[in-house]
Structure 1
Amino acid sequence: MADFRIEQALSEMRATGTPQQSPQRQTDGPPVEEFSNLLRQAVEQVNGRQVDAESLRDAYMRGEDVSLTDVMITAQKAQISFEAMKEVRNRFLEAYEEIRNMQV
């Protein structure tokens, strides 16, 4: 669902913007990653942390040799990374709204 909203926001930005020429990329410098790729990687990392936390919790509930402290620490890391991602999303959408409402 979050991936859909990101793609929707990016497509709206592309649709409302004027066609611009893409800047020339330097061939001798480090490669430049696109913002959408970086954003997708961040979402995948947060999702990975949530999956790890859930699998540790399930293993603990099944009685496997998993420490409760490991379960709690992993769950907290997943929660904090999700909250951080949510805050970045909110600020990104606020900036998008501000840019969209600008008078040209």
Structure 2
Amino acid sequence: MTNSIGNIGNTFVPGIPPVGINEAGTANPSGGPSFKELMLDSLNNANQLQLDSQQAVEKGLLGEDITQAEVFTSVKKADLALRMMVQMRNKLLEAYNEVQKMQL
């Protein structure tokens, strides 16, 4: 039987292996950030966008030097980041439930 996971590559850029997988098809912990680190970075980024959005709205309400377009863009970025995090959570829960359904 061949190693089917080792044959999976990046479909957008052929020849580049998936992140975290070395040539033998096994996990490479020293090759880059872990999944946990990526998730925490994404969560921190979404939180920072939310805080920036809140500050932009406050500046706009106080009449400081910020345009409505900048406020709107900031709010939309925060909204998009939150929606992405919710979708990531949904996919993780879906994968967890699939693993739970597997029989040993």
The Cα shift of 1:32 comes to 2.3
Which sections of structure 1, spanning at least 5 residues, go unmatched?
1-22
Q: Which runs of 4+ in 1 moved over 3 A?
A: 23-26
Larger Rg: 2
Q: Distance in 2 between matches of 1:85 and 1:102?
A: 26
Residue number in structure 1 paired with 2:98: 98
Q: Distance in 1 between matches of 2:28 and 2:85?
A: 31
Residue number in structure 2 paired with 1:60: 60
Higher RCO by CA contacts (8 Å cutoff, separation 6 or greater):
1
Aligned identity (percent) is: 27
Q: Distance in 2 between matches of 1:25 and 1:40?
A: 17
Structure 1 length-normalised TM = 0.69
Aligned residues: 79
Pairwise CA RMSD of aligned residues? 1.8
Q: Distance in 1 between matches of 2:94 and 2:29?
A: 29
Which sections of structure 2, spanning at least 5 residues, go unmatched?
1-26
Which structure carries more helix by proportion? 1
